[in-house]
């Protein structure tokens, strides 16, 4: 059996199509949703991520602003910038790109963001709303994973779901979203006893533990759905040979580039799963799509009942 591939790229394009109409409705009400991104220093990976987010804003016709404090910025200086963005009525969404430099108190900065503009869904107020099942802004990766399940036609209601990883950014909110969708949820972590056996009981597996190819083929029940959240860059030749022994194209890619991406799920798992996301091309494309969706949602929520969407585009 070969798993059905759940394409994040396909679902991203669907979401962008829906957002285009929602944005048009907002523009008709003379509202242009806008995202302000804060990128500290010159981390190459962070620069790529932020540029892609700004490009998505431009593609959809959203406003965007990029603030680039130097790497020696202080916590106080960042708090002042966040205060200015909170007070700016044109800014609906604020994104603080992580990681921040060691001298910055990241928690203070993230908690300074107005919860109504917190499109990363990291603020304690938004986490509290998620816990209580109230409408709010949800972290992009778990929200995107739920969109993959929904758009992929995966039945969540009544399913046994296992989330491998308990981070505040992915694992915990993912478990809450699944629970609100009526799944029976187990959260696993490094101290879980007999982890493979726990995972084997799942109808839906979400791997978000940050360890390359940790979830092996033998861990997954035949026919289960697997959402691979991890993105790990392999640069060690022996590790690449071990993981991709049966994938010559990946080994050729490693030989050419000196690195290759792999998720938290071993690629051989696709031979037993019923449906699975790839790395890259699975959850990744949904992260930016959900950031755009959250930006539009933030604009709508901040203006309350003054904004209505076309019936065909409003989500339930």
Question: What does each C-alpha distance from 264 to 131, 195, 206, 213, 216 come to in angstroms?
Answer: 26, 14, 9, 5, 9
Residue that has been written with the tokens 């505040």 in this structure: 168
Contacts of 177 (CB under 8 A, 6+ apart): 130, 138, 142, 143, 145, 146
Give me the catalytic one of 22, 53, 114, 118.
Answer: 53
Give me the catalytic one of 92, 114, 118, 120.
Answer: 120
Cα four-point dihedral sign 21, 52, 87, 112: positive
281: left (phi over 0), alpha (psi -120 to 50) or beta: left
Residue 97 is a catalytic residue = yes
User: Would you tell me the crossing angle of helices 140-151 and 8-28 to the nearest 10 degrees?
Assistant: 110
Q: How far apart are CA 299 and CA 302, in angstroms?
A: 5
The pairing of beta strand 63-67 with beta strand 34-38 = parallel
Question: What does each C-alpha distance from 16 to 283, 296, 313 come to in angstroms?
Answer: 15, 11, 11
Give me the catalytic one of 22, 97, 117, 264.
Answer: 97
Residues labelled as active-site residues: 53, 97, 120
């Amino acid at each position: 059996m070969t798993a059905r591939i759940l394409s994040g790229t396909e679902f991203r394009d669907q979401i962008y199509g829906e957002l285009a109409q929602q944005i048009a409705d907002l523009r008709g009400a003379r509202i242009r949703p806008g995202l302000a991104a804060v990128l500290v220093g010159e981390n190459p990976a962070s620069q790529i991520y932020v540029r892609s987010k700004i490009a998505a804003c431009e593609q959809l016709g959203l406003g965007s602003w990029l603030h680039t404090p130097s790497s020696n910025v202080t916590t106080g200086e960042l708090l002042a910038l966040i205060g200015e963005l909170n007070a700016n009525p044109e800014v609906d969404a604020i994104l603080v790109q992580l990681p921040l430099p060691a001298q910055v108190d990241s928690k203070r900065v993230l908690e300074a963001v107005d919860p109504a503009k917190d499109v990363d869904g990291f603020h304690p107020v938004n986490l509290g709303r998620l816990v209580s099942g109230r409408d709010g802004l949800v972290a992009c990766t778990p929200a995107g994973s739920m969109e993959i399940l929904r758009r992929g036609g995966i039945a969540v209601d009544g399913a046994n779901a296992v989330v491998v990883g308990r981070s505040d950014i992915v694992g915990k909110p993912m478990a809450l979203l699944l629970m609100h969708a009526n799944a029976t949820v187990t959260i696993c972590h490094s101290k879980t006893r007999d982890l493979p056996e726990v995972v084997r009981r799942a109808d839906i597996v979400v791997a978000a533990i940050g360890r390359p190819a940790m979830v092996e083929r033998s861990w997954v029940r035949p026919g289960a759905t697997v959402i691979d959240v991890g993105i790990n860059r392999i640069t060690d030749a022996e590790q690449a040979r071990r993981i991709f022994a049966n994938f010559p194209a990946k080994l050729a890619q490693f030989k050419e580039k000196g690195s290759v991406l792999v998720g938290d799920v071993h690629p051989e798992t696709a031979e037993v799963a019923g449906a699975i996301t790839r790395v890259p091309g699975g959850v990744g494309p949904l992260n930016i799509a959900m950031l755009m969706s959250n930006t539009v949602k933030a604009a709508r929520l901040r203006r309350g009942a003054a904004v209505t969407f076309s019936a065909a585009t409003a989500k339930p």
